[in-house]
Amino acid sequence: MPIVKYPRAREPLWCEWDRKAQKCGLRHTVYAVNGDRYTGEWLDNLKHGKGTQVWKRTGAIYSGDWKFGKRDGYGSYSIPDPVTKEYKRVYTGWWKNDKKCGYGMTFYPGGEHYEGEWSGGQRSGWGRMYYQDGSIYEGQWLQDQPGGLGMLLLSNENRYEGNWKDGKKHGPGKFFYLDKGQLFEGIWAADIPKCGILIDFGRDEAPAPTQYPIPKIELADPDGVLAEAQAMFDDSQDE
């Protein structure tokens, strides 16, 4: 009995068109309905690899790594200056799932900038912040604020070293008043010193020392008194 060969069924034209429309691997420029533009690599119709996105409404530009449609890897984000129209860097560093994550540097209005670790789009981990008034904070961050151990160096060289919580001095710490030649060591709560000891420290080299030295403490047990007061205010061990 002869073998009958039937013609192979041809796939619908829309399947072929859809397959050809799939952007995969190669670089393409695609415009969104709202005018946004992406030029770069694709995978299964998603931004994936190296690419540049331009947002029409704000003029902002991101150039760097993408993963399945989201910023992921290393990249930089810039915005145009409203007056000069020149582009200014806002963030350069690592991203994950479309948010700042890992080490990166951010530039704020007024000349302030931060360099350090990020998590979920917030400053988190170890980092250094340069403020507009000339002061510098270096230490631990939590939920976009100083939290943990850190040092705040003021523009006049005075500095605080110790614990922080919610962006404020909180817990054991030392404040060096180098302009006066004094040192305060004690416990802080929400930026307010609650108890501690104030002593002369480098008074002879201080540019504006106090008129008289701090008198000697005459308590029978000054360390015991301080320890008792510190235990009353120090809640940093319970967190």
Give residue-wise pLDDT tens across range 21-64: 455 557 889 999 999 999 999 999 999 999 999 999 999 999 99
Indicate whether this model's pTM tops 0.85. Answer: no
Sorted by where each starts, the structural domains of the chain and their CATH numbers stand as 11-102 (2.20.110), 108-239 (2.20.110.10)
- CA dist., res. 196 & res. 141, Å (int): 25
What amino acid is encoded at 218 in this protein? E
Instruction: Check pLDDT > 90 for residue 108.
Output: yes
Beta carbons of 201 and 176 less than 8 angstroms apart: yes
pLDDT of residue 230: 64
Burial of 169 (0-12, 13-18, 19+ CB in 10 A): buried
Helices of type H across the chain = 13-21, 222-233
Q: Mapping DSSP to helix (H, G, I), strand (E, B) and coil, where does residue 61 land?
A: strand
Instruction: Check pLDDT > 70 for residue 150.
Output: yes
Instruction: Check pLDDT > 60 for residue 14.
Output: no
Cα separation values, 26 from 19, 131, 222, Å: 14, 43, 74
Question: What is the pLDDT averaged over residues 209-232?
Answer: 68
Question: What is the pLDDT averaged over residues 188-211?
Answer: 89
Question: What is the pLDDT averaged over residues 113-139?
Answer: 98
pLDDT of residue 151: 98
Average pLDDT, whole number, for the chain? 87
Q: What is the pLDDT of residues 80-96, one digit of tens each?
A: 998 888 999 999 999 99
pLDDT of residue 208: 85
Phi, psi of 110 (to 5 degrees): 85, 5
pLDDT of residue 25: 57
Question: What is the pLDDT averaged over residues 11-29?
Answer: 56
Q: What is the pLDDT of residues 173-192, one digit of tens each?
A: 999 999 999 999 999 999 99
Beta carbons of 157 and 177 less than 8 angstroms apart: no
Widest CA span in the chain: 122
- CA dist., res. 132 & res. 118, Å (int): 21
pLDDT of residue 68: 96
